[in-house]
Every structure is written in structure tokens, then in C-alpha cells.
């Protein structure tokens, strides 16, 4: 049975929890400390996702006993406190994958980044492993494209069409981009997310990668205009096909402008290596490997730019 707290007791418990977390974080590295932090992280991930689904269901008028009994994440959240409806039959969480070395994780991410298609999904022509992607604006679906189709649906030559060619621009953003209270005012409840501007709604849309793929947020992102004002390059963000990718897990502060298909690759990689509730070591290693790959792309692009400047001077 769950113990209920009045307002005063809840505030005191919150202060006590804050003190305990600070003391835990100050402990020397050990297996026990890592296990405790991972357990806290697991609970926060579960509560964040569960509460997001409950709020979304409430806003859309779908909140009911049937939803509480059938949504896997909500079931896990309610089960912790013995609040499950009698009709609920929670399944055990499935453990996926195995612990990999950092080198194996990098290889896994690179392999997952390839979709495996060998034919253009528009004209059926053979395509290489590093083929381009088109975005179906109406359905937000990716399509693999050969060179001819990629050129045909380039945004500069096919404006107003259903498909948009996803560009190949990679740019690391200032690590202080979301400093201060900007991150809190964005109201993004997770540590890894991506945001793009939708051309149909004319507003930024946030997505959260997780064990079920990507979850679209209904949050308004109230501080988005301020984020754009802090970085000139974000004013050039192409709607639908380019995104801002955010990583703030465990002290990281990484922000990238990337093609939107890279964000879906990351989501697929995270889903394929997800373990338990919080993701586990394999998933976190996959995310590390993915961002190392982005850094290599960024370094390669900067080198190419320097060489181009040198050749023209």
C-alpha cells in the first residue's frame, strides 16, 4: 500500500531526498554507487515516460481504466505503488542484448545506421549502402532514394512536392546553448531528444527516443525562440528535414544540428539495444558511439571546409 503525504511532509521529503542525492553523488566511484545511481535513473525514466503518457491521454480525453490497464509503461509505473486496475496483466520487462566493448558499440551503431535497403523505394533502381533519404512530409516517413530520385526531389528543384530530400549538414552547436534556465523553460522531460520545425503546424516539435521508438511531445517548447536567437545557424534550420539533437545525460552537454534521418537512426539504435527500464549499459554505450560518430563527421566537415578555403585563396 502506498503511503500518502500531506503538503508539508512532501516538501520535507523532497528536501531530504535532495540532500541524500548530493551525498550519494559525492561518494567515491564504486559498483554500489553506480548501481544506486542507475536505479534512480531507471525510476526517473519510468516516471517521466509514464507521466508524459498520462498527461497526453488526459489532454486528448483518452484517460480511462482501460488505458491504465493496457499501456505497458503506465502499468509499470502504477504497479510500483500497487495502483493497478484489476484488469491489468503486466508483462515482465524483456532484457535485450549483451554488454559490449566500446569498439563493439561503435560497430553496432554504424551497422544500425544502415537501413539495409538495396533498391530505391520510388523507382526500384539499385542503391548503395550510403544512399540518400527522402521525407514524405504528409506521413513523416523516410524513403530510400537513388541518386536520380534524390536530385529530382531536392528541395531547391522540387519545392511544394510531397517529398523532401534530407540534407547532409552536420554542425556541433555551442555547449552553452541551453545554459541558465533555458533548458528548464523548454520543459523537455528527457535527456536525449530532437527537435525540428514542422512545416504543417509551423511550430517546433520534440521527439523522445525510447524503448518503443520515438514519442512525439505535445509540449509547446516556450523557450524555443530564445534558443534560436542564441545560435545564428539555427535560423537556417530547414523545416522537417533538419533537427536539433540534444544530449544532456549524466553531465553531458552536446547539441547538434543534424539531418533528421540521423535522429531516427539514433532512436532505432537505442531501441535495439535497450535493456530493462532505464536502457542499461548497452544502450548508453550505443548513444556514446553515435555521438562519437557525429564528432567524426563534424571534424571531417571542418577539415574539408579548411581545405576548400585554402584552395580558393
Question: What value does the mean pLDDT of the chain take?
Answer: 79
Q: Are residues 243 and 279 in the same domain?
A: yes
Please, which residues bridge with residue 145 across strands?
Answer: 132
Sign of the dihedral defined by the CA atoms of residues 138, 139, 140, 145, in that order: negative
User: pLDDT tier at 282 (50, 70, 90 boundaries)?
Assistant: confident
d(CA 49, CA 271) in angstroms, rounded, equals 15
Number of alpha carbons in the 13 Å side-chain half-sphere of residue 254 = 19
d(CA 54, CA 9) in angstroms, rounded, equals 25
Q: Are residues 64 and 110 in the same domain?
A: no
Q: Are residues 173 and 299 in the same domain?
A: yes
More confident residue, 182 or 257: 257
pLDDT recorded at residue 194: 95
Q: Is 146 part of a structural domain of the chain?
A: no
pLDDT recorded at residue 94: 35
Phi, psi of 85 (to 5 degrees): -60, 155
d(CA 123, CA 152) in angstroms, rounded, equals 12
- Count of domains for the chain: 2
Q: Are residues 287 and 173 in the same domain?
A: yes
For residue 82, what are the contacts with CB-CB under 8 A and spacing of at least 6? 1, 2
Q: Are residues 45 and 109 in the same domain?
A: no
Q: Is 119 part of a structural domain of the chain?
A: no
Q: Are residues 177 and 308 in the same domain?
A: yes
Q: Is 145 part of a structural domain of the chain?
A: no
d(CA 230, CA 183) in angstroms, rounded, equals 13
The mean pLDDT of 45-74, rounded to a whole number, is 84
Task: Please report the DSSP string for the chain in residue order.
Answer: -PPP--HHHHHHHHHHHHHHHHHHHTSPS-HHHHHHHHHHHHHHHHHHHHHHHHHHHHHTT--SHHHHHH-HHHHHHHHHTT---TT--PPPPPB-S----HHHHHHHHHHHT-----B-TTT--B--TT-EEEEETTTTEEEEE-HHHHHHT-TTTSTTSSEEE-----EE--TTTTTTTHHHHHT--SSEEEEEEETTTTEEEEEEEETTEEEE-----TTHHHHHHH-GGGGGPPTTTEEEEEE-GGG--EEEEEEHHHHHHHHHHHHHH-BTTTBHHHHHHHHHHHHHHHHHHHHHHHHHHHHHHHHH-
In this predicted model, what pLDDT tens digit does every residue of 82-104 receive, in sequence order? 677 766 655 553 333 334 445 55
Q: Are residues 47 and 110 in the same domain?
A: no
More confident residue, 107 or 306: 107
User: pLDDT tier at 195 (50, 70, 90 boundaries)?
Assistant: very high
Q: Are residues 109 and 257 in the same domain?
A: yes
d(CA 214, CA 274) in angstroms, rounded, equals 13
Whether residue 288 is predicted with pLDDT greater than 60 in this model: the reply is: yes
More confident residue, 293 or 11: 293
Structure pTM? 0.61
For residue 48, what are the contacts with CB-CB under 8 A and spacing of at least 6? 189, 190
Q: Is 237 part of a structural domain of the chain?
A: yes
d(CA 221, CA 198) in angstroms, rounded, equals 13
pLDDT recorded at residue 104: 53
User: pLDDT tier at 166 (50, 70, 90 boundaries)?
Assistant: very high
Q: Are residues 180 and 301 in the same domain?
A: yes
Q: CB atoms < 10 A from the CB of 183, how many?
A: 16
The mean pLDDT of 44-52, rounded to a whole number, is 82
Q: How far is CA 107 from the centre of its chain?
A: 20
Sign of the dihedral defined by the CA atoms of residues 39, 43, 44, 46, in that order: positive
Q: Are residues 54 and 109 in the same domain?
A: no
pLDDT recorded at residue 158: 47
Boundaries of domain holding 68: 7-80
Q: Are residues 227 and 297 in the same domain?
A: yes
pLDDT recorded at residue 311: 43
Amino acid at each position: 500500500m502506498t503511503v500518502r503525504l500531506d503538503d508539508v511532509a512532501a516538501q520535507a521529503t523532497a528536501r531530504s531526498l535532495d540532500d541524500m542525492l548530493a551525498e550519494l553523488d559525492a561518494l567515491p566511484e564504486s559498483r554500489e554507487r553506480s548501481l544506486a545511481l542507475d536505479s534512480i535513473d531507471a525510476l526517473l525514466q519510468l516516471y517521466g515516460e509514464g507521466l508524459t503518457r498520462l498527461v497526453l491521454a488526459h489532454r486528448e480525453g483518452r484517460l480511462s481504466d482501460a488505458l491504465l490497464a493496457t499501456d505497458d509503461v503506465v502499468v509499470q509505473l502504477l504497479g510500483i505503488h500497487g495502483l493497478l486496475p484489476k484488469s491489468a496483466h503486466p508483462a515482465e520487462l524483456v532484457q535485450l542484448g549483451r554488454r559490449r566493448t566500446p569498439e563493439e558499440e561503435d560497430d553496432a551503431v554504424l551497422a544500425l545506421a544502415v537501413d539495409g535497403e538495396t533498391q530505391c523505394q520510388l523507382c526500384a533502381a539499385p542503391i548503395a549502402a550510403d544512399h540518400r533519404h527522402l521525407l514524405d512530409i504528409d506521413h513523416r516517413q523516410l524513403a530510400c532514394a537513388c541518386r536520380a530520385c534524390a536530385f529530382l526531389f531536392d528541395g531547391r528543384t522540387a519545392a511544394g512536392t510531397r517529398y523532401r530530400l534530407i540534407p547532409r549538414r552536420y554542425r556541433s552547436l555551442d555547449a552553452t546553448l541551453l545554459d541558465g534556465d533555458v533548458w528548464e523553460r523548454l520543459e523537455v522531460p528527457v535527456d536525449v531528444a530532437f527537435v525540428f520545425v514542422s512545416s504543417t503546424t509551423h511550430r517546433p516539435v520534440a521527439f523522445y527516443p525510447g524503448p518503443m521508438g520515438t514519442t512525439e511531445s505535445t509540449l509547446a517548447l516556450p523557450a524555443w525562440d530564445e534558443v534560436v536567437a542564441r545560435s545564428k545557424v539555427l535560423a537556417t534550420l530547414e523545416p522537417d528535414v533538419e533537427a536539433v539533437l540534444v544530449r544532456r545525460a549524466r553531465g553531458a552537454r552536446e547539441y547538434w544540428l543534424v539531418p533528421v534521418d540521423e535522429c531516427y537512426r539514433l532512436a532505432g539504435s537505442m531501441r535495439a539495444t535497450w535493456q530493462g527500464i532505464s536502457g542499461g549499459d548497452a544502450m548508453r554505450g550505443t548513444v556514446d558511439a553515435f555521438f562519437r560518430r557525429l564528432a567524426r563527421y563534424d571534424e571531417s566537415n571542418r577539415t574539408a571546409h579548411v581545405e576548400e578555403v585554402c584552395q580558393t585563396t
